[in-house]
Amino acid sequence: MTATVKANKLTGQALLDHVDNGDLNGMSKTEQCLTAGYVRDNGKAAYTEFYTELLNAKTEAGLIQSSNGLSDGELWYDNLSATQQELYDAIEEGCPEFQKLSTDDCDTFMSELEDIGITTASEFSDAYYGQQDGWKPEADFAEQFCNDLSSIDLEDTLFYAAIDWQKVWDHQLSYDFSTIEFDGATYFFRNN
């Protein structure tokens, strides 16, 4: 389903009605966010702003009590669907550095995951292969991947020094893996 983005952001009862209709029509939270007008400059869903406004609308309508001193991060997490909470928990378990990120950064990463077809915790756990830092992450990943698969220690073989690991990535592994460049690291996910 292609989301049609509204020029003006929906608020209050109009936003509540929009979300209820989206749930009934099987729209994803990303589609609901975009079609309600909550879009970042890069065209991605502005989840934090969307969920904050949704929380305000629910509070105004008397559907929930005020935040009672919860932090922005706790409010953000509480407003995620159960599936999104499970996905975030899986991300945090696999990538502990996410505990230090802002809710905007977490939204961005979850949106990037959705772009490559990962929307649930089980999909994340099945696909996540690892991350690499540095200036040649794809080559480093290719080398690590091949070493993990090999029953012999490649570093002890004569041809090891002649391997162009970037070419291994470009011509072999790039078809089987998707990457997300985020917060100074490259994350690798096995394609289904």
Q: Which of 124, 149, 175 is the last residue of a domain?
A: 124
Could you tell me if residue 90 is inside a domain? yes
pLDDT for 68: 54
Rounded-to-integer distance, Cα 169 and Cα 178, Å: 11
Mean predicted lDDT score pLDDT of the chain: 83
Q: How many domains are contained in the chain?
A: 2
Could you tell me if residue 2 is inside a domain? no
Q: Which of 102, 124, 146 is the last residue of a domain?
A: 124
Q: Which residue has the higher pLDDT, 105 or 121?
A: 121
Domain carrying residue 137: 129-190
pLDDT band at residue 139 using 50, 70 and 90 as cut-offs: very high
**79 and 16, same structural domain?**
yes
Residue 3 has pLDDT above 80, yes or no: no
Measured on CA atoms in the order 73, 78, 79, 81, is the torsion positive or negative? positive
Rounded-to-integer distance, Cα 85 and Cα 102, Å: 15
**144 and 88, same structural domain?**
no
Task: Kindly report the backbone phi and psi dihedral angles of residue 187, in degrees, each rounded to the nearest multiple of 5, phi listed first.
Answer: -100, 135
**In angstroms, how far is CA 4 from the centroid of its own chain?**
21
pLDDT band at residue 122 using 50, 70 and 90 as cut-offs: very high
26 sits in the region (left: phi over 0; alpha: psi -120 to 50; else beta) called left
**117 and 60, same structural domain?**
yes
**137 and 57, same structural domain?**
no
